[in-house]
Amino acid sequence: MSSDKSVFSRRSLLRVFAAGAIVAAPTYSNAFSLLRGAGDIRRVNMVSGRSGESINAIYWVDGQYIPEVCAEISHFMRDLRADQAIQMNPHNFDIIAATHHLLDTTEPYNLLSGYRTPQTNAMLRSESRGVAKNSLHIKGMAADMRLKSRSVPQIQRAAEACAAGGVGHYMRSNFVHMDCGPVRTWAG
């Protein structure tokens, strides 16, 4: 995977071309509804300060996830401490994409944490009381993100507008946790 190029497989390119002239969908009050529309294209755009890698990938075209691209995003979101990856839940990609769309920015998200092995989670938990014992990071269902151009409250409000999972905001550490678990909010 290139560190600064969009991720396109031959199959995903064919799907993009087959999709024809797709017009951007209007913004709805519930961002998750926006992403459920037929004929849309979904994209994630992230960088990792730890690895120096970036990913800007279309992972959904015309009502279908693109398995090869979802696998590349999952690898990007791997536990860098253990260099291990699992298949991330693509619904988390949907929340990330919807929130990014609502924030109306081209700046890529800075991924702080995606998947965590149980060992990494236990180590982080021993260092901080803000790490959940049964974190959804362990299940590949969560991401901690930040943007330079948007505040924590702005990202938090956009993620909450999705009404699609958990949203935790961490003002002191300057990031927002987004997951595809039960809908809930908290401050860290």
Provide the Cα torsion 13, 18, 21, 24; round to 10°: -60
Which of these ranges, 20-34, 116-130, 151-165, has the smallest mean pLDDT? 20-34
Q: Return the percentage of the chain with pLDDT > 70, whole number.
A: 79
Q: What's the pLDDT at 182?
A: 95
Q: What is the mean pLDDT of residues 3-25?
A: 39
What are the sequence ranges of the domains in the chain?
10-187
CATH topology of domain 10-187: Muramoyl-pentapeptide Carboxypeptidase; domain 2 (3.30.1380)
pTM: 0.80
Q: What's the pLDDT at 122?
A: 94
DSSP class of residue 104? T
Q: What is the mean pLDDT of residues 15-19?
A: 39
Q: How far apart are CA 37 and CA 23, in angstroms?
A: 12
Q: How confident is the model at residue 33 (pLDDT cuts 50, 70, 90)?
A: low
Q: What's the pLDDT at 35?
A: 53
Q: How far apart are CA 78 and CA 81, in angstroms?
A: 9
Q: What does the buried/exposed string (b/e) look like for 157-177 if buried means 16 or more CB atoms within 10 Å of the residue's CB?
A: bbbbbbebbbbbbbeeeebbb
Q: How confident is the model at residue 40 (pLDDT cuts 50, 70, 90)?
A: confident
Phi, psi dihedrals of residue 98, rounded to the nearest 5°: -65, -45
The answer on pLDDT for 115 being more than 50 is yes
Q: What's the pLDDT at 101?
A: 92
Residue range 73-110, pLDDT digits in tens: 999 999 999 999 999 999 999 999 999 999 999 999 99
